[in-house]
Structure 1
Amino acid sequence: MTTARATPGTDASQATAAGSAVDAAALALGDDALILSHRLGEWAGHAPVLEEEVALANIALDLLGQARVLLSMAGDEDELAYLREERAFRNLQLVEQPNGDFAHTVARQLYFSTYQRLLYSRLTATDSRFAPLAAKAVKEVAYHQDHAEQWTLRLGDGTDESHRRMQRACDALWRFTGELFRPVEGVDVGWAAMETSWLESVTGVLRQATLTVPEGPRSGAWTAGAGREGLHTESFGRMLAEMQHLHRSHPGASW
């Protein structure tokens, strides 16, 4: 009878692989928060009313705080934010979409914050490295989602013009939502069940807002998973250049 023997270093190799997967996942989730934070920050001085100036800034700061924690898990947060090239970013294509008009920003936030709240709620119940962050961030994201839902209702069930713009925004961004549920290695959640919950939640809000749930595909042939693979839309390069300009112009400077 031959007894199977473990190959020396197998456990260490598996641990290293698991650690690398978690680092990669932290980078992907951190990039999501970082890029959307920057997009929302672009509203400073341009929001439709003063109250929204403060609300969008607060949401942006919440996301920036999440990004700092997540990127620090993967390396130096400043280097990762300001010194990587476009193809090295792993954020979802949804979060990099331009602000457009206010309805466009609201639709983007509705889609993403609903996803993020479901994700963090599940991560809170795990024993992963993400659990402490998720336990704190899920409370922030609950506000983000509520804010987006309330504006979706106000715009969708408002004037003819606000309804038209909100419908247009929901339709335009729908094709980027399939990528939300592409499994991220190192994040152990039930992605299929989460997608079902997301669809139920978003569909309920849109219908309550008298909006039509978009019927088009939720990921095109070239967009499915593209952001996670470092493939981004045209506007991302311009946004990144603006975000990184100061740091790259004065390397090593302290303030």
Structure 2
Amino acid sequence: MTPTPTTPAPSATEAAPAATPAPDAPAVHTAALALGDDALVLSHRLGEWAGHAPVLEEEVALANIALDLLGQARVLLSLAGDEDELAYLREERSFRNLQLVEQPNGDFAHTIARQLYFSVYQNLMYGQLAATDSPLAPLAAKAVKEVAYHQDHAEQWTLRLGDGTAESHERMQRGVDALWRFTGEMFAPVAGLDLDREALREQWTATVTAVLQKATLTVPEGPQSGAWTAGAGREGLHTESFGRMLAEMQHLHRSHPGASW
């Protein structure tokens, strides 16, 4: 039986959009918000595959990855404020996620290309972060174990599709090419993340290149500037599809502000 929400009249506080941390907030809040938004948005995108994956095994795999990311998002967002308010009451320009993770799923190969690019980045980034004295280090140490599986899953499917049939190869190459321009943003500086950005870029490039070449795919050579400029998502500038995704994600919460279930 579906629960019915009990919705009190929203107060001015409840009705007001949630805000990002103030400019003078600790840098760790800025970092937690950026990483939390990455995980939240990609979790939602992967959740859109429910009932549409090519085989049942992938229904389970993509759902598990989405749940891992949602778990990371909850911890990270709770460090920056109230997790529900940050997820459901912020406006589009207040989100600090990478433009890569907000890109529509497209076909399965497109989703795998996005997952390859992001999971390699996340694995390397969390690996570096876990070795620091950052307040985010304990989360990173736990998350890196989950993300290692995400990366392996994406790599195996990249190989399978890239070195499969002519059609699967073509689709995988299209996904790899289309999303390449959004990858440069991953290496832009973020307040509160004291990482070796150049090493991160070099390791990411080497890892992704090796996977693509093994999959008989061509490594893109175009710019990695995303929409507008690299780092734009971290500044609250997002692509058109993000607004539509956000409206869907926030619809229920905004329809019953302050409701208890």
Letter in 2 for 1:177: T
Counterpart residue number, 2:39: 33
Quick check: 1:73 aligned with 2:79?
A: yes
User: Which fold has the larger relative contact order, with Cα–Cα distance below 8 Å and residues 6 or more apart in sequence?
Assistant: 2
TM-score (norm 1): 0.92
Q: Higher helix share goes to which structure?
A: 1
Quick check: 1:128 aligned with 2:134?
A: yes
Give the share of equivalent positions with the same residue, in percent.
Answer: 82
Any gaps of 5 or more consecutive residues in structure 2?
1-21
Instruction: Report the Cα distance in structure 1 between the residues aligned to 2:25 and 2:105, rounded to whole angstroms.
Output: 35
Quick check: 1:20 aligned with 2:41?
A: no
Instruction: Report the Cα distance in structure 2 between the residues aligned to 1:230 and 1:124, rounded to whole angstroms.
Output: 26
Measured after TM superposition, the shift of residue 247 of structure 1 is 0.1
Counterpart residue number, 1:162: 168
How many residues are matched?
A: 240
Residue deviations 1:71-92, cap 9 Å, x none?
A: 0000000000000000000000
Tell me the C-alpha RMSD between the 2 structures.
1.3
Instruction: Report the Cα distance in structure 2 between the residues aligned to 1:219 and 1:50, rounded to whole angstroms.
Output: 36
Counterpart residue number, 1:104: 110
From 157, 173, 186, the counterpart of 2:192 = 186
Measured after TM superposition, the shift of residue 224 of structure 1 is 1.1
Counterpart contact for 2:185–2:226, Cα < 8 Å: no
Question: Could you say if the C-alpha distance between residues 17 and 89 of structure 1 is closer, same or farther in structure 2, counting changes exceeding 3 Å?
Answer: closer
Any gaps of 5 or more consecutive residues in structure 1?
1-15
Quick check: 1:214 aligned with 2:238?
A: no
Instruction: Report the Cα distance in structure 1 between the residues aligned to 2:107 and 2:229, rounded to whole angstroms.
Output: 23
Secondary structure, counterpart of 2:181 in structure 1? helix
Question: Could you say if the C-alpha distance between residues 245 and 221 of structure 1 is closer, same or farther in structure 2, counting changes exceeding 3 Å?
Answer: closer
Instruction: Report the Cα distance in structure 1 between the residues aligned to 2:257 and 2:23, rounded to whole angstroms.
Output: 33
Counterpart residue number, 1:4: none
Counterpart residue number, 1:3: none
Counterpart contact for 2:44–2:249, Cα < 8 Å: yes
Residue deviations 1:32-67, cap 9 Å, x none?
A: 000000000000011010000000000000000000
Instruction: Report the Cα distance in structure 2 between the residues aligned to 1:223 and 1:244, rounded to whole angstroms.
Output: 27
From 40, 48, 53, the counterpart of 1:42 = 48
Letter in 2 for 1:247: H
Secondary structure, counterpart of 1:176 in structure 2? coil
Letter in 1 for 2:55: V
Instruction: Report the Cα distance in structure 2 between the residues aligned to 1:18 and 1:154, rounded to whole angstroms.
Output: 48
